[in-house]
Amino acid sequence: MLTAIGRAAARRVLLPSKIAASKLTTQLPHGSVAYRLPKALTLLVAARPLTVSAWMRSPAKISGSKTKRTGTATKKKTTKKASATKKKTKKAAAPKRQTKKVLTPEEKEKADLRHLKKMALLKGPTLLPESAWAVYVTNNIGAGEGKLTERIKGISSRFAGLSESEKEGLKSTAQSNHDANKNTRQQWVEAHPVEAIYMANIARRRIARKTNKSRIYLIHDERLPKRARSAYALFIKSRFSKVNSQSGSSTVQDTFRAMSEEWRSMSESEKQPFKEAAASEMEKSAALLKELKEKARAYWKAQGGVARQVPSVRG
């Protein structure tokens, strides 16, 4: 005898089996009689779809293990590649050591002279001829044939035979060229900073010393700070025109002699205004010169000059 719980369980099992058994009927080819399968067989047929064979589950496990192995293999490959690239970058990043060439004293002197010539601004503006002879040579140098010395001799002989009116025309041309050159020089000077002009004059002095040249052509620039004047110089400036007009037909030397005697005869209280003006002017000039020297040193280094080779920037 089955209990109530057992009967309920049997009912749940037999219910789908009955449905499956009703469907499992066969038709004989010679008649319409249907045969039903036994109940035990129907239970097996109904329960068959619920079972899963072991060989259906094994491929999934195998494929999972393969993917895991392939995943670890790819990770190892990527780590190896990353380490190889890191090694390559480390090798490429290492800079090569460059050995500096040791210069001889002669080579150092030549290099210093080259840098001084660069700083001296020796290549100035293109100027026009400023004399009658220079104008005539410039106009006729390309007309003749032969060597340059022979052409110059011919030009010289022709220039000597010119009339006064022709020479006056050449002189007027030279004067106009002189005025044009003055403007050209001024524009060329103003195109450079004041510290460049200051260092150019210092470099020209050093070149003259190194090459044993007596003549030095310095660049004139109104922007450069002027030297402070003394009290006596300020007195001369204030008294020159008055003393010169009072002396009448005396020479400049007589005028200066009279002013020097007047300066000696002056008391300290009379000289004090000139001394105070000279002290104030000296203070302003020193401040401007100090600022200019700092700019000049920075300009020298910016142009490739060695710090220890900066020329002495005296006032």
Q: What is the pLDDT of residue 259?
A: 86
- Return the number of other C-beta atoms located less than 10 Å from residue 301's C-beta: 13
Check pLDDT > 70 for residue 298: yes
pLDDT band at 73 (very low <50, low <70, confident <90, very high): low
Which has the higher per-residue pLDDT, 7 or 200? 200
pLDDT digits (tens, 9 = 90+) for 152-165: 888 999 999 999 99
Higher pLDDT, 236 or 314: 236
Q: How high is the mean pLDDT of the chain?
A: 76
- Which of 161, 158, 114, 121 lies closest to 139, judged by CA? 158
At 24 the pLDDT is 43
What pLDDT does 303 receive? 83
The Cα 199–Cα 185 span in angstroms is 18
Supply the pLDDT for residue 81. 57
Predicted pLDDT of residue 143:
76
pLDDT digits (tens, 9 = 90+) for 13-60: 555 544 544 444 444 444 444 444 444 444 444 444 444 444 444 454
User: Which has the higher per-residue pLDDT, 313 or 176?
Assistant: 176
Across the range 195-214, mean pLDDT stands at 91
DSSP state of 25: -
Answer yes or no: is pLDDT of 308 > 90. Answer: no
What global pTM score does this model have? Answer: 0.58
Residue 179: is its pLDDT beyond 50? yes
Nearest to 206 by CA among 198, 216, 196: 216
Residue 177 pLDDT > 90, yes or no? yes
Segments in 148-267 forming alpha helices (H): 148-160, 164-190, 194-211, 231-247, 252-265
b/e 163-191 (16+ beta carbons within 10 angstroms → b)? eeeeeeebeebbeebeeebeebbeeebee
Asked whether the beta carbons of 263 and 232 are under 8 A apart, the reply is yes
List the domains of the chain with CATH numbers: 225-314 (1.10.30.10)
